[in-house]
Amino acid sequence: MTIKELQTDMNCRAVWNGWEDREVTGAYTSDLLSDVMARSEEGQVLITIQAHKNTVAVAVLKDLSGIITASNRPVPDDMIETARDEEIPVFVTDNNQYETGWRLHELGGF
Amino acid sequence: MTNMGQKGSFQSLPQGCELIGDLKISEVMTRNVLAVPRNTTIREAQSIMKENSITGVPVVDSRVVVGIVSMNDIMNALESGRMDDPVTDWMTFEVQALAEEMPLSFAISAFSKYPFRRFPVVNKRNELAGIITFRNINLALIRELSRQLQEKNNLNEHSVDMSSLELVKEYLLSRYDFENGGKASSEIKKFLKGHGIPSRLIRRVAIASYELEINLVAHSDGGMLGFDINADRVVITSHDHGPGIADVDQALTEGFSTANEWIRSLGFGAGIGLPNIKRVSDEFIIQSTLGLGTMIRAVINIHTKDQHNN
C-alpha cells in the first residue's frame, strides 16, 4: 500500500499537498511521542490524536511514512508548516484511532 | 551502565566534589555583601533586604559577624508589631560562618547539615568577607561543567583523524521550549544521513538525542546538549542547571515520571524517555545531584561488530 492509496482508500483529507508518494509498510497507534519514538518502525504510518508539530519531528526522526490524525482532530498551522518543510504527509480522518487501525488492517493487510 | 545517582543531598556530596574540583569558597562567594550594625531596626533591615532583593543580611560589630537576620525573623517581628526593635532582638545568634579558605565541598555539606539558606563567609581575622548561597554554588558548578566539556571537546578534536565524519556541536535548550525541542536531533540526523550512516544507527542516535532534548525542555531549568561525532561513535552529552533527580534508579524505571499535565498533554512524560535512551545506547552514564543538576552521556558506536538491534 502506498500513501496515495491510503488517502483514497481511507477517505481522509491531506492537510497539505505535493508530497511524494511512498510505501506504507505498517501502522502504529499512540499519542505518547516517547512511545512512538521507542517502538514505531520505519515506513509505518502513525495514527494519533496528538496533533502537534512535535509529532512531525518524531515522524521525521523515525522515518515514518505519514501521520493520520484521527477523530477529526484540528491540525495547528505550525504543524502543517513543519510537515510541509519536512515533507511528511499528514491526513485528517473522522474515524477514531481504533476504527482507523481496523480499516488499515482490512485494506492494507497489516 | 554506571549509575551514580544517590538519594539525599548529603550522600551526593562526592559527585559534587568531583565536579567542583579544587574550588575554594572565596572563589565562589558573593564579595560585595551587605551587612548592618547592631543598632539597625527590623524596619530598616526589611527595607534594605527589599531594595536589594535579598532574603537575609548579616549583623556585624566592627566587621565581626554577631548574627544574621532573615525574612523569617522579620515576619516574626512584624507579627508581634515590633518592627522598630533593634535587629539584635530578633536575629539568629548562633551563626554558622564558613571560612573563605575552605574548599567549596564544605559549603555544600553545610547546606545539607543546617537548615540555613545562606552562610556568611569570614576571613582569617574572623571578619565578614562575603556570603554564600546555593545560587553561588549552582553558578560555579555550571561554569565548571562548561569548562570541563570544553576541555573534553578540545581533546577529542585533537585525537580523531581527519575523516569527513566529524562534528562537535552544542545546542542550548530552555525550559518549556517545546517549539525548538527536536531541532538539534533533526540537524544531527541530516548530518549523519549525508555521510551515509546506516539508517538503523541514525534512528538510534535520533531516539537518544530527541529524548535528551525533550528531557531538557520538559524537566530541567535549561541546559546544553552536546554532540561529538567521529567515524567510530556518536557521543551525546546533556547537562542541565537543575533541579537534579532525587532517585536516578526510579527515574530509569519505565513508567515513572514527574511530568505535569501540560507536558503529558504534549505527548511526553510517560516515563519512557530515559529507559529509551539507555536501551539504544552502547554506553550510558547518568549523574545527578539534587539542587545542582544532571549530566548524561550516551554513546552509540558506529563501527562495532555487535551492534544493537533496534
Q: How do residues B32-86 score in pLDDT, each as one tens digit?
A: 888 999 999 999 999 999 998 888 899 999 889 999 999 999 999 999 999 999 9
Give the single-character DSSP code of B268. -
Same domain membership, residue B283 and residue B166: yes
3-state secondary structure A37-74: HHHCCCCEEEEECCCCHHHHHHHHHCCCCEEEECCCCC
Out of A54-68, B77-91, B168-182, pick the least confident: B168-182
Q: Is B185 an 8 Å CB contact of chain A?
A: yes
Examine residue B180 and state whether it is found in any structural domain, yes or no.
Answer: yes
Do residue B179 and residue B244 come from a single domain?
A: yes
Chain B residue numbers with beta carbons less than 8 Å from the beta carbon of A57 are 181-182, 185-186, 210
Cell numbers 499535565 correspond to B261
Distance, CA of B73 to chain centre? 30
pLDDT band at B2 (very low <50, low <70, confident <90, very high): very low
Taking only the tens place, the pLDDT of each residue in B236-271 is 999 998 899 999 999 999 888 888 888 888 888 888
pLDDT given for residue B11 in this prediction: 39
- pLDDT of B31 strictly over 60: yes
Interface predicted TM-score of the whole assembly (ipTM), two decimals: 0.76
pLDDT at B8: 37
Which of A32, A38, A64 has the alpha carbon at shortest distance from B278? Answer: A38
**Residues B185, A32: C-beta atoms closer than 8 Å:** no
Do residues B179 and B74 share a domain?
no
Domain range enclosing B103:
25-133
**What pLDDT does residue B10 have?**
39
Nearest to B267 among A31, A38, A62 (CB): A31
Higher pLDDT, B95 or B219: B219
Closest CA–CA distance from residue A43 to any residue of chain B (Å): 12
**Do B123 and B172 lie in a common domain?**
no
Nearest CA in chain B to A79: B179
Same domain, B167 and B121: no
Q: Is A43 left (phi over 0), alpha (psi -120 to 50) or beta?
A: left
Residue B78 falls inside a structural domain: yes
Alpha-carbon gap: B298 to the closest alpha carbon of chain A (Å): 16
Asked if pLDDT for residue B7 goes beyond 60, the answer is no
Residue B76 placed within a domain: yes
Q: Is pLDDT above 60 for B307?
A: no
User: Domain check: are B279 and B236 in the same one?
Assistant: yes
Spatial distance between the Cα atoms of A53 and B301, rounded to a whole number of angstroms:
30
Burial classification of residue B234, based on how many CB atoms lie within 10 Å of its CB (0-12 exposed, 13-18 middle, 19 or more buried)? buried
Spell out which residues of chain A touch residue B218, defining contact as CB-CB under 8 Å: none
Weakest-pLDDT range from B15-29, B98-112, B125-139:
B15-29
Total domains, chain B: 2
Assess whether pLDDT exceeds 90 at residue A49: yes
Does B195 share its domain with B249? Answer: yes
Q: Look at residue B209 and tell me if it is in a domain.
A: yes
CATH number for the domain harbouring residue B245: 3.30.565.10
CB-CB neighbors (< 8 A) of A58 in chain B: 182, 210
Same domain, B183 and B84: no
Whether residue A32 and residue B272 make contact (CB cut-off 8 A), yes or no, is yes
What is d(CA B181, CA B177) in angstroms, rounded to the nearest whole number?
Answer: 6
Say if the Cβ atoms of A58 and B210 lie within 8 Å. yes
Provide the pLDDT for residue B21: 66
Q: Do the chains contact at B267 and A61, CB–CB below 8 Å?
A: no
pLDDT surpasses 80 at B207:
yes
- Same structural domain for residues B275 and B165? yes
Q: What is the rounded CA–CA span in Å between residue B23 and residue B97?
A: 18
B306 class by beta-carbon count within 10 Å (0-12 exposed, 13-18 middle, 19+ buried): exposed
CA distance, residue A86 to nearest chain B CA (Å): 10
- Considering B133, B148, B169, which residue would you say is the last residue of a domain? B133
Is B204 within 8 Å of chain A by CB?
A: no
pLDDT category at B202 given cuts 50, 70, 90 is very high
A22 membership: H or E segment, kind and range:
none
Domain for residue B104, yes or no? yes
Chain A residue numbers with beta carbons less than 8 Å from the beta carbon of B270 are 32, 34-35
**Is residue B9 assigned to a domain?**
no
pLDDT exceeds cutoff 50 at B158? no
pLDDT band at B161; cut points 50, 70, 90: very low
Residue B2 lies in a domain: no
CATH code of B120's domain: 3.10.580.10
Q: Hey, which residues does B233 pair with through a beta bridge? A: B301
What domains does chain A contain, in order, with CATH numbers?
Answer: 3-108 (3.40.1390.20)
| Domain shared by B215 and B294, yes or no | yes
Averaged confidence pLDDT in chain B: 84
- Do the domain assignments include residue B232? yes
pLDDT score of B17 more than 70: no
Res. B304 pLDDT band, cuts 50 70 90: low
Peptide bond into A74 cis (omega under 30): no
Q: Is B253 left (phi over 0), alpha (psi -120 to 50) or beta?
A: beta
Q: What is the structure's pLDDT at B82?
A: 93
List residues of chain A with CB under 8 Å from any CB of chain B: 31-35, 37-38, 42, 50, 52-55, 57-58, 60-63, 78, 86
Query: Taking CB atoms and an 8 Å cutoff, what residues of chain A touch B186?
Result: 57, 60-61, 86
Report the residue of chain B nearest A56, measured CA to CA.
Answer: B182
- Is pLDDT above 80 for B306? no
Asked if residue B203 and residue B75 are part of one domain, the reply reads no
Report the alpha-carbon distance of residue B246 to residue A55 in Å, rounded.
Answer: 30
- Are both B197 and B67 inside the same structural domain? no
